[in-house]
Each structure stands twice: as structure tokens, then as C-alpha cells.
Amino acid sequence: VAAEDACGVPDTFGGFVRGKELGRGAFAVVYACERKSDAAKFAAKAVDLRQLRLFVNVGREVKKLRREASVLQQLPPHPNLVKFVDVIQEGHWLFFLLELVDRGNLLQAIVRRPPGRTGRLKFRESEACHVFRQLVDGLKVLHSKGIVHRDLKLENVLVVRERSVGPDLLLDVKIADFGLSKVVGEGVSEARSTVGSPRYMAPEVIAKGSHDFRADLWSLGVLAHVLLDGRFPCDGASAKVPQERLDEAIGRLPVGRDAQDVVRGLLQLEPPRRLTILQLCGHPWLTGGGRGSTDKR
């Protein structure tokens, strides 16, 4: 019998040795791991198939997961997307092998950012713009391949590096946790909805559970607000307040007009009114790099 940790996750799987825990989410624990043959390092997201059995037919589910995984494996490499490497089954555990991004997630990065540098706010406008533009770039590729993220939030953005450029402390980031939630998430949707964060959910997702590309754009709007203000647009789910209240909150953002315009364009309760990803890419806030604003921070 192979050795295992407190959760019962085996110490080795395929040709890999499991290392320390990197984080956990609704249905998975993520570990660092090393390939025995060449000591190359990866992250491995472990999913307990027995947990899925509560909800679904596991054989069918694993087949679906593998199909979904092959879509992810074929994604072209992109600097703002965590690379999906492989899927390995070991007993009743599934390991999704991922590129290792070991500087934590964006929530942790914000929490540990030096206080006082920019007052209450954690990011200067140009720093927020730098992160936001990378999220847009990554999301554009996902959407162009037919993948809806469904769970964009600070915890699902990983930090590659932090570097000083003039007065800015810039974070290079990658989007994580995409593609698999569609399949695994269906099996654990009940469990997931109780732990997932409704604060990022689009109104149509809360109302009908319908997830299309535009739901990701809403979440992106919530993220932009958090980056620019250090706070959510309102208490609880932004999707549950009237448009006028959202617009008021956005109008109070301590940023330039272009940045406000982006947040307002994304936080539209009605999906057809939201900015599209292509409109975002061409928006002056992104093409101008968050400069030319009222940024005195």
C-alpha cells in the first residue's frame, strides 16, 4: 500500500513524487510535485473520485474529464494562462498536472503587499491596469477556444513574479482553474455553490445558472473594481443590486475616466449591454496602460 497524507492522497503517482500543499479550493487540493525522471517541477491538482461518486457515474465522468483535458492540453501556450500538462489516475485519485506557479494567488499577493505605499489602496491605477490587461489577454484566448472560465476571482489568478518598474510594483500573473470546473463542477455543483464566491457571479448565473462568455466579463468587472479600489463594488453579490447603485459606486472610484468606463462597461446587469472582449482589448485604458489618468497615488 502506497504511503499517503492526512487526506489520503498518495505520495507518488505515475512517475511523480508529491510535495507540499500549495492551496485548496472547493473540490481539490493542489500540491507541488516532481517528475522522478528529470526532477522537473509541476503542480498537481488532486481530485478524489469517491467524492464525485456521490453525484455522478464515475466511469462516465472520468471519460468526460479526459476529453476536456485534451482540449486544455491543446491550448497554445500563453504567458497569462496556466499550462495544462496531463491527467494521471492513481487508484481513486485523479491528478491534473499543471505548470507550477509558486508565488501564490492574487488574493495572497494583495494581502502581503506593503501597506501605506499607496494609502488604503493596494494598487496604483497603472499597477491595477497591468494586472487587468493580462487577465483580458488570457481570457481572450480561452474564449477564442470556446472555453468559458466560470470562476474568475482573485484566488484563481496566480502570481508569476513581482518586479519594480519606476514607481510601480508590477505583478505578472496567469489565469488558473479553468476548463475542468465545467466537468468536475457539474458533479459537485451543490457542494460548490455553498463554498464558491457569489460576489463575482453575474446576475444571469445567479438567476438561471446560465454561463456564457459574458458571465466571465461580469466577473472581470468585479475583479477590476477590487484591483482599483481594494473593495468589492458593494456588500455581498454585486449582481443583486440595482444598476444605479452600481453606477454610483463606480462613479466614486478614485481613478481616471477610462478606468471607470471599463468597470462600468463590464458591470452591466444585462449581458447584451456589457463590453465584449474585443471592445475591451481596444479600450483606451488598456491600450494606454492606465497612464494619462488622474493617478497621483
Residues marked as catalytic = 151
Binding mask 155-194 for ligand ADP (x = CB under 6 A): xx-x-----------------xx-----------------
Residues in the chain: 297
Nine cell digits for residue 257: 475616466
Residues 6+ apart with CB under 8 A from 280: 136, 217, 220, 262, 265, 266, 286
Total binding residues for ligand ADP by CB under 6 A?
A: 23
Closest to Mg ion by CB, 118 or 156: 156
Tell me which residue of 259, 250, 254 sits closest to 290, measured CA to CA. 259
- Count CB atoms within 10 A of the CB of residue 288: 14
In the list 16, 22, 25, 246, the residue contacting Mg ion (rule: CB under 5 A) is 25
Using H for helix, E for strand and C for coil, what is the string for 193-206?
Answer: HHHCCHHHCCHHHH
Q: How far is the CB of 184 from ligand ADP (least distance, A)?
A: 8
- Which residues pair with residue 88 across a beta bridge? 95
Q: Choose which of 9, 33, 98, 215 interacts with ligand ADP (CB under 6 A).
A: 98
Partner touching 295 among ligand ADP, Mg ion, none, CB below 5 to 8 Å by kind = none
Coil, strand, or helix at residue 173?
A: strand
Q: Which of residues 30, 109, 226, 250 is near ligand ADP by CB under 6 A?
A: 30
Please report where in the chains the cell 498537481 appears, as a residue.
Answer: 44
Binding mask 155-184 toward Mg ion (x if CB under 5 A, else -) reads: -x--------------------x-------
Number of H-type helices and E-type strands within the chain: 12, 9
45 marked as part of a ligand binding site: yes
Residues that bind ligand ADP (CB under 6 A): 22-28, 30, 43, 45, 82, 98-102, 104-105, 155-156, 158, 176-177
